[in-house]
Structure 1
Amino acid sequence: MLALRLTYESFRFAWQALRSNLLRTTLSLLGVTIGIFSIIAVFTLVDSLERNIKDSLSFVGKDVIYVQKWPWVFENNFPWWKYFQRPSPNMEEYRYLQNNLENAAYIGILDGRGGVNLKNGNNSLEAEVQGIVYDFNQITEVPVAQGRYFTPQEIEAARNVAIIGAEIAETLFPGSDPVGKEFKIKGIRFLVVGVQEKKGKSTFDFGGSPDTKCYIPYMTFSKMFQTRYSNPSLVLKGRESDAGLLQLESEITGLLRTRRGLRPSQDDSFSLNRPEAALKAISGVFGALTVGGWIIGGFSLLVGGFGIANIMFVSVKERTNLIGIQKSLGAKNSFIL
């Protein structure tokens, strides 16, 4: 019982000391709280940004290789002028790889144009129009909520059919089912065969929001938009048996070098881009941000620690006489708070 009474008295004295110096108590709590909150806030922000960016890159697909003119990740002092001279992938190379590749499960070609005006009567909006081939849905999912996906015949015949995003459907066809109805792209009529699932807005949409995308057959797109400045991409999905897609990557390199007539001494005139490389670069950036977060949080705790140390010094200095009386009466260190 004596121990309980001493403990109670000890906490009562401490509580009275805190109440008698309310401003000092508040400042001490703020010093600790702000330091801890700074660390939590910085790391929460960094983790949230990294997760959102990685989620926004999901459009590139899984186990895929993109054959493009430009690399996604540039090294230091890269010869950018050489990339300008590279030819862009084209339909002939797509057909060539389609007929000769053995390690690809699916192969596609796509191209896009942003800021295209879509119109239906008095309703219009600007959206991204992408030309795709039939196997594109096997490489990167195109989730169709209403209607259907393209048929092989529609792709090969370059018909004027389209799969539109949810926001496009709501804008061009408010309050009605858009499937089976027509709208115009650059004055040309297109039939809506499908509407994609609504994704909603995201902080980062590096591939563009699916809600404002309009897919049409690639050959139809080529007739409407392709110029000598166009930059199509070949997209290839590897087989599950090809771990790391090493065989597919080697086969693509060999076939394209042969197709383009490159000599052994010449560098590749194309880039093989993989989502893993982009994610690795992003992880490196956020690794540096994490270190910065630790530094910011550490400074916050350090500043708060100095403030609390000064307050504790003043508190002990003021209570020196009281502590001396308590010690002379036999109070132990554990009693004096």
Structure 2
Amino acid sequence: MRFLRQILESFRFAWQALRSNLLRTTLSLLGVTIGIFAIIAVFTLVDSLERNIKTSLSFIGDKVIYVEKWPWTFGSEYQWWKYFQRPEASMTEYKFLHDRLETAQAVVAIDFKGRVTVKNGNNSMSSLIQGTTFEYNDISDVPIEQGRYFTQQEIDVARNVAIIGADVAGNLFPSQDPVGKTFKLNGLNFTVIGTQERKGESILNVGGNPDIKCLIPLGAFAKMFHSINPSISIAIKGYDDDPGLTELEGEIRGLMRTRRGLRPTQDDNFAINRPEAIAQAISGIFVVLTLAGWVIGGFSILIGGFGIANIMFVSVKERTNIIGIQKSLGAKNYFILFQFLFEAILLSLVGGLAGIALVYALSFMQLGTLELQLTTGNIVLGLGVSSIIGIVSGIIPAFSAARLDPVIAIRAK
């Protein structure tokens, strides 16, 4: 109990010392403030970017492999001339994989057509049209707000029905319930059977922004936009018990090579794409940003740490006489040590809190489609780094104060 009381007393001494020298305290914590601000701001930016990208990727599916003509390869050595000669994925290949794949939950054929005008009376807008087969909602996130999803019969007979995005619903049917109403698409009437929840803008609208999208049966899509042998993407959903989807990828490769009659010595003439490839390509940018934040913040914190250490040595010098009196009255070495160590930690923590407060204020800024969010983890990181800097900066001055001889300290001027 006595030990705890002395610890609290040390804390009180430290707080009074900081309050009595406000200008010096403020100048000392500026370096830590700038450093913590730089590090936590970068971490917040990276976390927000990752969250935004993951949200975007959720609309093209989790544990999904896409079989297409073009690979999702990022870099300077993209051999487009080689990929250009490949055949497009076809409906016959979709049916072949759909019937034979044993390690897949769902197999879907997808096709897109952008900038297509959709109309309802005098209301019109440019929309992204996506044709798909029945199991699309098993592959991708299709949050229905009103109405329902397709039935198997609607897909099989290529009925003119559509699930429309929030922007399409708002533009074509303002202040109305769109479900059951019709609109014009490429000169044909389509009936709205459902509307999707609003997603909002994001950095990566992979697969197209659902808010401006019209989902229709692939058969209806093909009748409008293709004459013979449409080009498609084949999306295949794997099982959770297939780590890395290695079994599924191997089975897809084997079936596709068999279907296209490739000899063992021939390279694949199709691409097996994964949404993770996009995230991996961007992860390099995140690494650079994080490193830059640590470097910039590290220099600022280092300068702030030296500043705190310097101020602590000055404080020890100014209060040497008081230290001597405290020791002569029975104060233990740890009481003196904690007194100065707490002062250094408090100084650093106040600087860290100021840096975190600046990041919090920054999170209210509008950065286009990016929403900054200061997480609890980043707050804890900032306070943890501040505490460590305070301990490292204050430990030597605190030890020097604790080891002072009381007789010599009292005589000090």
TM-score, normalised with respect to structure 1:
0.82
Aligned to 1:252: 252
**Distance in 1, Cα, partners of 2:58 & 2:75:** 24
1:86 aligns with 2:86: yes
Given that 2:60 and 2:206 are in contact with CA atoms closer than 8 Å, whether structure 1 keeps it comes out as: no
Aligned to 2:290: 290
CA 46–230 in structure 1, closer or farther in 2 if over 3 Å, else same: farther
1:221 aligns with 2:221: yes
After TM superposition, give the deviation of residue 311 of structure 1 in Å.
6.7
After TM superposition, give the deviation of residue 282 of structure 1 in Å.
3.8
Given that 1:31 and 1:308 are in contact with CA atoms closer than 8 Å, whether structure 2 keeps it comes out as: no
Alignment of 1:258-273 (within 5 A): 258-273=258-273
After TM superposition, give the deviation of residue 89 of structure 1 in Å.
0.6
CA 123–298 in structure 1, closer or farther in 2 if over 3 Å, else same: same
**Distance in 1, Cα, partners of 2:11 & 2:286:** 49
Percent of residue pairs bearing the same amino acid type: 56
Alignment of 1:10-159 (within 5 A): 14=17, 18-19=21-22, 22=23, 24-74=24-74, 77-159=77-159
- Residue identity in the other structure for 1:146: Q
Runs of 5+ consecutive residues of structure 2 not aligned to the other structure: 1-5, 328-332, 341-413
After TM superposition, give the deviation of residue 331 of structure 1 in Å.
7.4
- SS for the counterpart of 2:214 is strand
CA 152–312 in structure 1, closer or farther in 2 if over 3 Å, else same: same
Q: Compare 220-229 and 35-44 and name the one that shifted more.
A: 220-229
CA 174–249 in structure 1, closer or farther in 2 if over 3 Å, else same: same
Aligned to 1:233: 233
- Residue identity in the other structure for 1:18: N
Given that 1:69 and 1:231 are in contact with CA atoms closer than 8 Å, whether structure 2 keeps it comes out as: no
- For residues 13-49 of structure 1, the C-alpha deviation after alignment (integer angstroms, 9 at most, x for no partner) is 8468615xx3x43322322222222221111111111
Given that 2:111 and 2:130 are in contact with CA atoms closer than 8 Å, whether structure 1 keeps it comes out as: yes
- For residues 136-176 of structure 1, the C-alpha deviation after alignment (integer angstroms, 9 at most, x for no partner) is 12222322222222222222222221110122111111111
Let me know the Cα RMSD of the aligned residues: 3.5
- Residue identity in the other structure for 2:304: G
Q: Compare 25-34 and 164-173 and name the one that shifted more.
A: 25-34
Q: Compare 126-135 and 27-36 and name the one that shifted more.
A: 27-36
CA 16–196 in structure 1, closer or farther in 2 if over 3 Å, else same: closer
**Distance in 1, Cα, partners of 2:14 & 2:99:** 83
Bigger helix share: 2
**Distance in 2, Cα, partners of 1:15 & 1:257:** 74
Aligned to 2:381: none
**Distance in 1, Cα, partners of 2:27 & 2:105:** 64
After TM superposition, give the deviation of residue 281 of structure 1 in Å.
3.8
CA 103–15 in structure 1, closer or farther in 2 if over 3 Å, else same: closer
TM-score, normalised with respect to structure 2:
0.68
Runs of 5+ consecutive residues of structure 1 not aligned to the other structure: none
**Distance in 2, Cα, partners of 1:260 & 1:194:** 38
After TM superposition, give the deviation of residue 76 of structure 1 in Å.
6.0
Given that 1:32 and 1:305 are in contact with CA atoms closer than 8 Å, whether structure 2 keeps it comes out as: yes
Aligned to 1:171: 171
